[in-house]
Copies of this chain bind each other. A is one copy, B any other.
Amino acid sequence: MAAWGERLAGVRGVLLDISGVLYDGGEGGGAPIPGSVEALARLKRSQLKVRFCTNESQKSRGDLVGMLRRLGFDISEGEVTAPAPATCLILKERGLRPHLLIHDGVRSEFDQIDTSNPNCVVIADAGDGFSYQNMNKAFQVLMELENPVLFSLGKGRYYKETSGLMLDVGPYTKALEYACGIEAEVVGKPSPEFFKSALREMRVEAHQAIMIGDDIVGDVSGAQRCGMRALQVRTGKFRPSDEHHPEVKADGYVGDLAEAVDLLLQHADK
């Protein structure tokens, strides 16, 4: 691999994943990853632009930011690109009224959205809300539409909580895709549109931006396919086999956010 100076040259903006990079979720709200509170503070004092790009869809952006601030992170709602607000924009643009199969924690994001007489379905990580009855209702709504439209907030397979592996939204999206013979529109990483909207909001071109995440596919591959660079941290859902992924190679692998910030402050925008 080239030297870090070469790999990070010209970086002007940093997109940060949240879960697994800033903190680990779990019972009682989770805990910061050691060094990440201070690393984020240093990054924000630098010349580099910073934005957060998350697939979190069990919590509203306000609740997520409130939780992170209580953990000590310097973050505000306006700095976060998240699937639920992005979906609301799309629904408004296209005049769509969703049936919502979502977690109660994120329902407030859709307060301004007309959900009467639905003409599409929005599915997000609903956790225990993925009952047979709720899945069947979403299925029936889709089957009654002439052109069934399904939005999936991310398409992750599973995530890790302190209690063990938990099914994410992806398997349930696959279930509805198979049941209805359709393909969902994914809002969230690794969708290129989602990364592009984060870049627009940060006002940085793709070739001047770098993504830092723990997911070799959702974060690293997704960002690279948009023309960005990407670092993978060895925290969160990172697995050693990720460094030998058959198709994806990060622009660098670092121990954690603190190491990534050290390298960026030393080498970026030179």
Given contacts A158-B179, A172-B175, A175-B174, contact A139 B165 (CB under 8 A): yes
Number of copies: 2
Q: How large is the interface on A (under 10, 10 to 19, 20 to 34, 35 or more residues)?
A: 20 to 34
Task: Find residues 189-246 in chain A having any chain B CB closer than 8 Å to their own CB.
Answer: none
Which chain B positions have C-beta within 8 A of A31? none
Which chain B positions have C-beta within 8 A of A157? 178-181
Evaluate contact between A136 and B167: CB separation under 8 angstroms.
Answer: yes
* Cα of A171 to Cα of B172 in the assembled complex, Å: 8
Which chain B positions have C-beta within 8 A of A131? 128, 130-132
Which chain B positions have C-beta within 8 A of A112? none
Which chain B positions have C-beta within 8 A of A127? 132
Evaluate contact between A143 and B165: CB separation under 8 angstroms.
Answer: yes
Evaluate contact between A128 and B139: CB separation under 8 angstroms.
Answer: no
A140 sits at the interface (CB 8 A): yes
Which chain B positions have C-beta within 8 A of A176? 171
Q: Which listed residue, B139, B143, B158, B175, touches A139 by the CB 8 Å rule? A: B158
Query: CB-nearest residue of chain B relative to A138?
Result: B167
| Whole-angstrom distance between the Cβ of A28 and the nearest chain B Cβ | 19
Task: Find residues 81-108 in chain A having any chain B CB closer than 8 Å to their own CB.
Answer: none
* Cα of A37 to Cα of B118 in the assembled complex, Å: 40
Q: Which listed residue, B158, B170, B175, touches A167 by the CB 8 Å rule? A: B175
